[in-house]
Structure 1
């Protein structure tokens, strides 16, 4: 009798275990894309990061050693920019400007405006990255030189 109950118990456990395996859903790349697209995330650089502050770095330059750039983004959506063209140890040109900036619809980029001139920067954690005229990241060997770090 004990052997019969023991065998019956093992058979039930095996059946229940197999049945649970059938209920598991396999998540592949397509399924994951569907799940991710259904999730609405309202977090972005504008509302999640401590973006206001001073950023600096040296941008590439075609006819000089680089452009030392300092940008201050302020809470009131104004900015100040200082750019120094490094043309040699004693030969530099400095330009200072200020203006207003706005955020793109996604809250990931700031658009600096000064008269008719505009420039775009992607805002990240303690850094901003200068974007090209189309609002895209620069790729290639020089990509890291377009990043300005927060002081």
Structure 2
């Protein structure tokens, strides 16, 4: 069975592949060259053709990957581990301020591209701190099954 998440990736892969064919033919490529990935004849403009084929390949890989992992479906995972019932999911209800800091860091980086490099570097450092701290916080929120222990 093809899962919902993988349908998106397979659809995008097909769209990117058809786009690569159309792009290769419309930029002066030979029909046989476009379908043989440039092995025998020309494909037209190489960069756009390669980007679209690369997007198709990556998307197809992600589609097969999500099919193999069953979209991280808890029921499918419980079936693989031979559990009788699905373990309950925990909800995290603590306030998280790292997305706000990330938004300010991205804004500083965008403004720093125009104004000057010190602001861009400050935003990049802030974004690096956000990535590390947000990851640690998400790990700490789920390190045990007891929410009281996780808050410490």
Q: TM-score range by the shorter chain?
A: under 0.3
Higher helix share: 2
Flag the structure with larger Rg: 1
- TM-score (norm: length of structure 1): 0.20
- TM-score (norm: length of structure 2): 0.20
Higher strand share: 1
